[in-house]
Amino acid sequence: MASAVERRAGAGPRASLWRRSRRLATQALLGVVLVATIGCDRVTKRFAVETLAGTADRSFLADTVRVAYAENAGGFLSLGADLPEANRTAIFVVATGGILAAVALVAVRSRWDHWSSLGVTLFLAGGASNWIDRVLHGRVVDFLNLGIGPLRTGVFNVADVAIMIGLGVLLVRQTWAESR
């Protein structure tokens, strides 16, 4: 039985059960975010393959948003797309898979705050979905492009958005933690 001091400090059996329940609920919610992000990316890529491949680019909002089918055998901004297939496989399948597995292992073993956990989950979901494409097809389907006039992004997909939002959340969280 917990002493009066332990109960006042929140160290009793109820507090422990509450912490475990809350951690489990957080992990379940992060699991939903992971699966939903991967699912959304897979569905939008499938839609791009079925409706955009072989068609003309489409432009929306005064050419701020362009939708166009593209296959990317390389990494960010198609870096490495011209490498021999064995090198691309080594980098974009084997090495990336290892890095994603390592990050997932660290994430599972760590007790990060909710925001950091969300950032890592989004990063992993986007990375895993693009990795699945590379394993299955040797390339990633991209279809979105944003910009104003000549200032434009590269072509990207929902997984890329998840990766960038995840990194953004981690950056903001780290900056905020350091300023305290």
Condensed to tens digits (0 to 9), the pLDDT of residues 100-119 reads 999 999 998 988 899 999 99
Q: Which of 63, 82, 133, 160 is catalytic?
A: 160
Sign of the dihedral through C-alpha 158, 164, 169, 172: negative
Give the number of residues written for the chain.
Answer: 180
List the structure tokens of 168.
């953004």
pLDDT at res. 10: 55
- Residue 63 annotated in active site: no
Determine what percent of the chain falls in helix, strand and coil, rounding each to the nearest 5: 65, 15, 20
Q: What is the pTM of this model?
A: 0.86
Q: What is the mean pLDDT of residues 84-97?
A: 96
Closest listed residue to residue 69, CA positions, set 85, 43, 47, 88: 47
DSSP-derived 3-state class of residue 69: strand
3-state secondary structure of 31: helix
At 4, the pLDDT band (50, 70, 90 cuts) reads: low
**Residue that the structure tokens 């890592």 belong to:** 120
Helix (H, G, I), strand (E, B) or coil at 66: strand
Catalytic residue among 41, 57, 82, 142: 142
Mean pLDDT of 155-169: 97
Query: What span, in angstroms and rounded, lies between the C-alpha atoms of 13 and 159?
Result: 41
C-alpha–C-alpha distance, residues 117 and 122, integer Å: 9
The phi, psi pair for 12, rounded to 5°, reads -75, 180
Q: Is 160 considered catalytic here?
A: yes
Quick check: 157 pLDDT over 70? yes
Checking if the pLDDT of 175 tops 60, the result is: yes
